[in-house]
Amino acid sequence: MATRHVKRTFKYRFYPTTEQADELFRTFGCVRKVYNMALDARSRAWTDERRRISYPATSAMLTDWKRTEELAYLAEVSSVPLQQSLRHLQAAFTNVFAKRAKYPRFKSRKKSRAAAEYTRSAFKWSDGQLTLAKMRAPLDISWSRPLPHGTEPSTVTVSRDAAGRWFVSLLVEDPGVRPLPANSSAVGIDVGISSLVTLSTGEKVSNPKFARVDSARLAAAQKDLARKEKGSRNQAKARLKVAKIHARITDRRRDFLHKVSTRLVQENQLVVIEDLPVHNLLGNRTLARSIADASWTELRSMLEYKCGWYGRELVVIDRFFPSSKTCVTCGLRRDELPLSVREWSCEGCGTRHDRDHNAAQNILAAGRAVSACGAGVRPQRSSSGRAVGDEAGMTMAQAVGVPAP
C-alpha cells in the first residue's frame, strides 16, 4: 500500500522582470473580473429566478465572455487562473450552503488579495526552475529553503502583498512530514496577554507584543499618510511605507508562533487548549489591540494542523469551562475571580495559586479526561458546597493525580 504524504505549501519571495510583472498584473485583474462577473450572475439568477448556477455553467459563461469585443482581453492571459477563480467561487458557495461561511463578497482592486493560481498544465517545472504560462523566462525565486527532495509542485499560487512584495507558493507532497514517536507527555495551555501562553508545567512564554514594539513607527507613518494629498504619488509612497511596517509586524509574529507551536507539538503527545471566543473578546475596547496582537486564533490553527501532521492529539475544552476559578488541588470553585486578580488562595485547601498556571493545570486535567473518556469535565463542587455533575466521572484533582479532599 502506497504511503500517503502530507500536502504542504512552501512560500518563497521572487523578483519579477518588468515584463513578468505586467503579465501578472493583467492576470490579477482578469481573475478579479471573472470572479466578480460570475458572482453577479449567480446572485442575479438566485434573486430573480431562485435558480442555482453551477461551476460548469459559469465555465461556459467564461467562454462566451471571451468571444465578446468588450471582454476579449480575457483571452490574452492564461485561462487556468480564470478557471481556478470560478472553482474558488464554487467552493465559497458550497461553504455557504453548508453554513460554514458567509455569502461571498465582490473582490476589490484596492482591498482584495492580488493572487492567481496555476495548476500543472499552466506552468513548467524543470531543474528547479519555474516558468508560468504566457512567460518566456523562469521566475527569479529566492530559495530561502529547499523543497523536499524529489518533489514537484502540483499547484503554484503567485501573489503580491500590500507592501509590494511578490510571493510564489508551491504545493507539494512532503514525505518528510510523518508521525513522531509516541510519548507520554501532555500539556495544558492557557493563553494570555502578558504571557502569550502559560503551560501546565509552570513555564510561561512571554508575549513579544510585536505591534506595540513598532507602534511608534507605525503611528508616525500613518500620520504622514494622513497628510498626503489623496490620489497623489506621495500618498502612494506613504501608504507603501505603512504597509511595510504592518508586514514586518506580521512576519515576526508568525515566525514566533511557528516556533512556539512546533515545540509544543513535538514535545507532547497530548495538547489541550481552550475554545476562546476571540471575536467576542475583541469587543473589549480596552484589550482589543492586545488580544489582536497576541493572535490566539493563529496559534490554535497552527497547533491543529501540526498535531495532524505529527500524529499528536489536540483536545479543545469548552469555552465556558471555569479553568481559572477552579482549584486544581481540591476542585473547589470560586464564584467570582476578576481579571485583575493574578494570584488567589483556595478557601477549601488553602493552596496559593498563580491564576494562569492553575488554569493551565485544569485545562490539562479536562483534556486528559476527555481523551480517556470522550466527555467533558467539570469541577466536583462549587464554593457554595453545591455538587456539580461530573460528566467524565472524575474531578480535576483526580484527573491530575492529586487525591481529592
Tell me what pLDDT residue 371 has.
86
Tell me what pLDDT residue 383 has.
40
Determine the average pLDDT of the residues in 254-281.
95
**pLDDT tier at 176, thresholds 50, 70, 90:** confident
**pLDDT tier at 220, thresholds 50, 70, 90:** very high
In this structure, the answer to whether residues 190 and 277 fall within a common structural domain is yes
In this structure, the answer to whether residues 12 and 117 fall within a common structural domain is yes
Determine the average pLDDT of the residues in 123-147.
96
Has 356 been annotated as catalytic? yes
Q: Are 9 and 171 in contact (CB under 8 A)?
A: yes
Q: pLDDT above 90 covers what percent of the chain? A: 79
Is 301 inside a domain boundary? yes
Is 248 inside a domain boundary? yes
Is 167 inside a domain boundary? yes
Sequence-distant (6+) residues with CB within 8 A of 92 are 101, 104
Could you read off the pLDDT of 73-113 as tens digits, one per residue?
999 999 999 999 999 999 999 999 999 999 999 999 989 99
Residue 405 reports pLDDT greater than 80: no
Q: From the candidates 23, 117, 190, 390, which is the catalytic residue?
A: 190
Tell me what pLDDT residue 3 has.
57
In this structure, the answer to whether residues 310 and 326 fall within a common structural domain is no
Residue 155 reports pLDDT greater than 60: yes
Tell me what pLDDT residue 86 has.
98
User: H/E element holding 273?
Assistant: strand 270-274
- 150, 174, 198 — which closes off a domain? 174
* Spatial distance between the Cα atoms of 382 and 54, rounded to a whole number of angstroms: 55
Could you read off the pLDDT of 316-363 as tens digits, one per residue?
999 889 999 999 999 899 988 888 898 999 988 899 999 999 999 999
Query: What range does the domain containing 326 cover?
Result: 321-399
Determine the average pLDDT of the residues in 356-383.
75
Amino acid of residue 380: Q
Tell me what pLDDT residue 394 has.
44
The torsion of the CA quartet 368, 271, 207, 217, rounded to 10 degrees, works out to: -140
In this structure, the answer to whether residues 191 and 226 fall within a common structural domain is yes
Is 245 inside a domain boundary? yes
Q: Are 116 and 28 in contact (CB under 8 A)?
A: yes
Residue 384 reports pLDDT greater than 90: no
In this structure, the answer to whether residues 12 and 155 fall within a common structural domain is yes
In this structure, the answer to whether residues 112 and 141 fall within a common structural domain is yes
In this structure, the answer to whether residues 206 and 295 fall within a common structural domain is yes
Q: From the candidates 23, 117, 293, 356, which is the catalytic residue?
A: 356
- 134, 153, 174 — which closes off a domain? 174
**Number of domains present in the structure of the chain:** 3
Residue 400 reports pLDDT greater than 50: no
In this structure, the answer to whether residues 253 and 378 fall within a common structural domain is no
Tell me what pLDDT residue 386 has.
33
Between these two residues, 370 and 55, which has the higher pLDDT value? 55
Residue 228 reports pLDDT greater than 70: yes
Between these two residues, 109 and 377, which has the higher pLDDT value? 109
Task: State how beta strands 332-333 and 381-382 pair.
Answer: parallel
Tell me what pLDDT residue 82 has.
98
Q: From the candidates 23, 274, 293, 390, which is the catalytic residue?
A: 274
Tell me what pLDDT residue 387 has.
32
- 174, 195, 216 — which closes off a domain? 174
Has 203 been annotated as catalytic? no
Residue 274 reports pLDDT greater than 60: yes
Residue 388 reports pLDDT greater than 70: no
* Spatial distance between the Cα atoms of 293 and 264, rounded to a whole number of angstroms: 20
In this structure, the answer to whether residues 312 and 336 fall within a common structural domain is no
Residue 374 reports pLDDT greater than 50: yes
In this structure, the answer to whether residues 213 and 301 fall within a common structural domain is yes
Residue 168 reports pLDDT greater than 80: yes
Closest CA relative to residue 170, chosen from 159, 161, 181, 178: 159
Has 274 been annotated as catalytic? yes
The torsion of the CA quartet 37, 38, 42, 48, rounded to 10 degrees, works out to: 30
Is 334 inside a domain boundary? yes
Is 38 inside a domain boundary? yes
Is 215 inside a domain boundary? yes
Q: pLDDT above 70 covers what percent of the chain? A: 91
The pTM of the full predicted model, rounded to 2 decimals, is 0.86
Determine the average pLDDT of the residues in 249-277.
96
**pLDDT tier at 390, thresholds 50, 70, 90:** very low
Closest CA relative to residue 126, chosen from 152, 157, 146, 154: 152
Tell me what pLDDT residue 379 has.
39
Q: Are 147 and 140 in contact (CB under 8 A)?
A: no
Is 405 inside a domain boundary? no
In this structure, the answer to whether residues 167 and 196 fall within a common structural domain is no
In this structure, the answer to whether residues 39 and 82 fall within a common structural domain is yes
